[in-house]
Structure 1
Amino acid sequence: MKKALSLISVFLLFSCAELQQVVNQLPNTTTLGNEEIASGLRQALDFGIDKQVSKLIRKDGFFKNEMVKILLPAELQKVDKTLRDIGLGNLADEGLKVLNRAAEDAVKEATPIFVNAVKNITFADAKNILLGGDNAATAYLQNTTEQQLYNKFSPVINNSLSRVGATEVWGNIINKYNSIPLTNNVNPDLTDYVTDEALKGVYTMIAVEEKEIRNKATARTTDLLQRVFALQDR
C-alpha cells in the first residue's frame, strides 16, 4: 500500500511539474490599463516626431517628398501659369521652392511644440484608439491639438518666410503679376496657407511611423511598445 502511495505521489509531482511548465508557456493575458496604453500611444507619436518629422527639416524635406510637398493654392496657380506664359518660369519655380523651404525651416524651429503637445495629450479612451485604424492616434492628436498648434506654429512660419527669402520672392512675384494688364490683383495670405500645409505634412509623417509600429512588430523597439501594441494583434 505504501509503495502504491509512493508511486501515486511521484506521478502527481511529475504531473504538477509538467502542468506548471505548460502554464509558464501560456501568453500573458493581463489587460493593460488605460494609462499604460496611453503611454504607449504617446511613445509611438514621439517616435513619429523623432524618426519621421525629423526628415522634414532637411533641405528638400518638403520639396522633394511627394507625400508632403507644398503645392500652390488655386489663387496662385493662375499666377504661376501667367508668369510661365510670359517667360518668367524661373521666377515661378523659385516661388514654389521657397514656400517649401519656409516649411522646412519652421518645422525645425517648432519641433519642441509638437513634442510638448504629445506629452500633454490626454487620451479619453486609449484602448479604442489603440484598436482603431493605422493612424488613429495621429488623427486623435490632430483633432485635439491642431488649433493650438496652428496658433503657436503660425508666427514661426511667418518668421521662416522672411528668413528664407520667401516674403521677398513672393512680393516680387505678386507685384509683377498685378502689373500685368487684364489680370485681377491677388494678395494671398502666405503665412496662413503655409502654416496649414506644414501642419498637414507633420501629421502625415507622424502617421507613417504609427502605421509602421502597428503593422511591424520589429518596429516596436521598446518594451512598452511591444506590450501595448501586442493587444491590437490579437
Structure 2
Amino acid sequence: MKKILLLCCLMTIFSCAELQQVVNSLPTQGTGIGLSNVDIANGLKQALDKGISKQVSKLTKTDGFYKNQLAKILLPAELQKVDNTLRKVGLNKLADEGLKILNRAAEDAVKEATPIFVNAVKQMTFNDAKQILLGDDKAATSYLQSATNSALYNKFNPVIKKSFSKVGADKIWTNIINKYNTIPLTNNVNPNLTDYVTQEALKGVYTMIAVEEKQIRNNLNSRTTDLLKKVFALQDGR
C-alpha cells in the first residue's frame, strides 16, 4: 500500500520517464515524499534566494571583487602587457591602482542586481523548477543567468561607466595607457574597459551563485530550511 501511495504522489510531480528514474533510485528515508509542485518550486526559489542573499551580497562590499579569487577582475589580455611593462619600469603602484578601480566599479554595479534577480526568481514556473532539480550542480544558476543576463548587462554597464568617472578611473586609465604608449617598442592600446568590466562583473555574480547552489546540492548542512531539506532529498535519490 505504501508503494502505491508513493507512486501516486510522485506522478503529480514528474513525467513518466522521470518518475521511473526517481523511483528506481529513491532512498528509503528522507525522500521529501508528500511535496506538492508548489513546494518543489518554492524550494528551488529558496535555494536561489539563498545564493543571492549570501553570496552576491558579498560582492557589493569594498574588495568584494578585488579580494575574492573566484570573482576578481583581472586585466583583459591586451592590457596584461601594459601591466607587466609598467611593473618592469617601476610603476607598480600605478598598475595596482588601475586594477583595483576596475573591481571597484564592479562592486558598485552589483548593487543594482538584486531587484532583477528577485523578479526572475518570482517568475520561475514548476517546469523550470523540475528541470533545475533534475539538472547538474549549476542548473539553478544557469536558469538565473538565462533569465537575467541581458537585463543585468543593461543595468551594470551605465553604472560601471558612471563609477569609472566617480573614482577617476577614466583619468587613471588614460594616464596608464598614455604612459604605456610612450614606452619605446610598444604597440598602442585603447580597449573598451566599460564593456569588459561589465562582462567580468556578470561572470563574478553567476560564479558566486553557483558556489552556493553547489553547497546546497552536495552539503546537507547548507540546507538551512525544512523545505530545502525535503526538496533536495528528492535530488539526492535521483
TM-score, length basis structure 1: 0.80
Task: Encode CA deviations 1:22-77: one digit per residue, 9 max, x unaligned.
Answer: xxxx86633532x4423222221111111111111222111111111111111100
Write the mapping of 1:18-37 to structure 2, written as runs, cut at 5 A: 29-30=33-34, 32-33=36-37, 35-37=38-40
Correspondence for 2:82 among 72, 79, 84: 79
Give the unaligned 5+ runs of structure 2: 1-28
Q: Does 1:115 align with 2:114?
A: no
Deviates more, 1:179-188 or 1:192-201: 179-188
Q: Does 1:65 align with 2:68?
A: yes
Aligned amino acid, residue 211 of structure 2: V
Cα distance in 2 for residues equivalent to 1:113 and 1:154: 14
Cα distance in 2 for residues equivalent to 1:180 and 1:52: 42
* Other structure's SS at 1:65 match: coil
Counterpart contact for 1:69–1:100, Cα < 8 Å: yes
Q: Does 1:175 align with 2:184?
A: no
Aligned residue number for residue 5 of structure 1: none
Give the unaligned 5+ runs of structure 1: 1-25
Aligned amino acid, residue 33 of structure 2: T
* Other structure's SS at 1:201 match: helix
Correspondence for 1:210 among 200, 205, 213: 213
Correspondence for 2:142 among 139, 143, 146: 139
Task: Encode CA deviations 1:137-175: one digit per residue, 9 max, x unaligned.
Answer: 101211332123212221122122222332221111112
Q: Give the 3 Å change call, closer, same or farther, for CA 230–139 of structure 1 in structure 2.
A: same
Cα distance in 2 for residues equivalent to 1:122 and 1:81: 49
Aligned amino acid, residue 224 of structure 2: T
Aligned amino acid, residue 215 of structure 1: N
Counterpart contact for 1:52–1:206, Cα < 8 Å: yes
Counterpart contact for 2:141–2:206, Cα < 8 Å: yes
* Other structure's SS at 1:84 match: helix
Aligned amino acid, residue 36 of structure 2: L
Q: Does 1:199 align with 2:202?
A: yes
Counterpart contact for 2:216–2:223, Cα < 8 Å: yes
TM-score, length basis structure 2: 0.79
Structure showing greater Rg: 1
Correspondence for 2:56 among 53, 56, 59: 53
RMSD of the alignment, in Å?
A: 2.2
Counterpart contact for 1:110–1:156, Cα < 8 Å: no
Aligned residue number for residue 40 of structure 1: 43
Correspondence for 1:151 among 151, 154, 163: 154
Cα distance in 2 for residues equivalent to 1:112 and 1:165: 28
